Amino acid sequence: MSLNYENLAALTPRLREAVVNLLYRMADDELLIGHRDSEWTGHGPILEADIAVSSMAQDEMGHAQAYYQMLHELGEADPDTLAFGRKPREYKCAALVCLPKGDWAFTIVRQYLYDAAEMIRLTAFAAGSLRPLAQLATKLRGEEKYHMMHGRGWVLRLGDSTPESHERMQAALTQLYPYAMGLFEPTEYDEHLAQAGICPREDELQREWESAVAPVLTEAGLKVPEHLEPVYGGRVGRHPAALKELLDSMQLVYKIDPGAKW
Amino acid sequence: MTDTQWPIFEVFHQQARGEPHVHVGSIHAPDAEMAIILAKEQYCRRQACVNIWVVPASAITATLYTDDDIFERATDKSYRESWGYKTPKHVAMPHGDSPAQVAESDSEVKHM
């Protein structure tokens, strides 16, 4: 594929709409998982783990900001308004990132499944035809590589450490796997984005993700759930009730004074 | 009382290639690989870093402070100190060898 879009202005109106949708999905996922991880700040199982997960929360919010900035360059509102000024229905995040933070096993499994998906997307973006997105993805990949090391390290150790840790990890995996599959909810834009060489089709990304996570989960002594129905709806604005609660908390200060300068 | 803490690893941090690894603190971790993973955020989130070493604290043998008189010099031996000369930083290291050479060429260093 020899298509190449040097900058955002090179996109046709139809492709522009597809890219805007893609960026909302990415940005909203990052913002919300970042917020969920930040709920561990001060509550981590040990100091070292608390610091690591808090830093990773900041990383994810930084990624969200970068995607919101690109959306702003495409004519959407400014990043603060996009992050804090929208109604739940306007968010395009997957249900996976909305769920309350759960126990540590839940957080680790969610973060691992999420980061593996993000890494696959970033790698595809980096090799893709939309130059500003390729450049951004290349920049974000270093942090994401660390997130993968962190997630893999915890998954392998907690998966078969003690009967209790195994049980908690397996329960989290069984619960979260269909939600993680929902990260790859097909959209009406998939074909167009794939043809333009910007982002592969969601089903293709999902297959790649499944073959990336399965060996690690198996090595950790966990059973990868099979024949599950993915949880869809997030990409079209249908969210679990947990999202509204999260947004009420996250947007509280913004709503008091939207124009506040810090 | 049983100690429920994970073992301690000492963390050494390198700000740029060729610079010495400097001890920055310690960390609790179940093993060396997790020590590196956790030390990265603990010690490298506020400053530049290109490399980390972790060493089990149990692998370190130290002198006793009650024996610190062994380091005292009974006569003036300031002529031994290399600080008076204009020398590159790695040569001026009081222990002679450049740690950078150790870091990049010593095959005994394990990588995660």
Identity of the residue in A46, A55, A153 whose CB atom sits nearest the CB atom of B41: A55
Residues B88 and B52 in one domain: no
Q: Report the C-alpha gap between B19 and A254 in whole angstroms.
A: 45
Q: Report the C-alpha gap between A134 and A147 in whole angstroms.
A: 20
Residues B18 and B44 in one domain: yes
Measured between CA atoms, the residue of chain B closest to residue A55 is B41
Q: Which domain holds residue B42?
A: 8-59
pLDDT in tens, A45-86: 999 999 999 999 999 999 999 999 999 999 999 999 999 999
Query: Domain of B24: which CATH number?
Result: 3.10.20.520
Q: Is A127 on the interface with B (CB under 8 A)?
A: no
Q: Report the C-alpha gap between A45 and A51 in whole angstroms.
A: 10
Residue ranges in chain B modelled with pLDDT below 70: 1-3, 82-107
**How large is the ipTM?**
0.86
Task: Tell me the H-state helices in A182-240.
Answer: 190-195, 202-219
Residues B55 and B18 in one domain: yes
Q: Report the C-alpha gap between A103 and A38 in whole angstroms.
A: 14
> Percentage of residues in chain A with pLDDT exceeding 70?
99
Residues B15 and B51 in one domain: yes
State residue A83's pLDDT score: 95
State residue B96's pLDDT score: 47
The pTM (predicted TM-score) of the whole model is 0.90
Is the separation of the CB atoms in A202 and A144 below 8 Å?
A: no
What's the average model confidence in pLDDT over A166-175? 98
Q: Which DSSP state fits B16?
A: S
Residue A245 has pLDDT above 50, yes or no: yes
Listed residues B16, B35, B59: the one ending a domain: B59
Angle among Cα A138, A180, A28 to the nearest 5 degrees reads 55
Interface contact A56-B41, CB threshold 8 A? yes
pLDDT in tens, A103-162: 999 999 999 999 999 999 999 999 999 999 999 999 999 999 999 999 999 999 999 999
Has residue B80 been placed in a domain?
yes
Q: Report the C-alpha gap between A101 and A37 in whole angstroms.
A: 7
Has residue B67 been placed in a domain?
no
What's the average model confidence in pLDDT over A194-223? 98
Has residue B42 been placed in a domain?
yes
For residue B34, the distance in angstroms to the closest alpha carbon of chain A comes to 6
Contacts by residues B89-97 (CB-CB < 8 Å, ≥ 24 positions apart): B90/B18, B90/B20, B93/B20
- Domain spanning A11-256, CATH architecture: Up-down Bundle (1.20)
Is the separation of the CB atoms in A86 and B80 below 8 Å?
A: no
The tally of domains found in chain B comes to 2
State residue A194's pLDDT score: 98
Residue that has been written with the tokens 């024996």 in this structure: B67
- pLDDT band, residue A259 (cuts 50/70/90): confident
Is the separation of the CB atoms in A201 and A248 below 8 Å?
A: no
Domain boundaries, chain A: 11-256
Residues B84 and B52 in one domain: no
Helix (H) or strand (E) holding B99: helix B99-105
Has residue B20 been placed in a domain?
yes
Residues B55 and B79 in one domain: no
State residue A227's pLDDT score: 87
Residues B18 and B46 in one domain: yes
Residue that has been written with the tokens 């790649």 in this structure: A208
Has residue B105 been placed in a domain?
yes
- pLDDT band, residue A260 (cuts 50/70/90): confident
Residues B12 and B53 in one domain: yes
Is the separation of the CB atoms in A145 and A115 below 8 Å?
A: no
Interface contact B38-A157, CB threshold 8 A? no
Residues B51 and B19 in one domain: yes
Chain B residues near residue A52 by CB distance under 8 angstroms:
37-38, 40-42
SS3 sequence of A31-72: HHHHHHHHCCCCCCCCHHHHHHHHHHHHHHHHHHHHHHHHHH
Q: In b/e form, how buried is each residue of A49-65, taking b as 16+ CB within 10 angstroms?
A: bbbbbbbbbbbbbebbb
Cβ atoms within 10 Å, residue A66? 19
Q: Following CA atoms B32, B38, B42, B45 in sequence, which dihedral angle do they give, to the nearest 10 degrees? A: 110
Interface contact B41-A157, CB threshold 8 A? no
Contacts of A166 (CB under 8 A, 6+ apart): A158, A159, A160, A221, A222
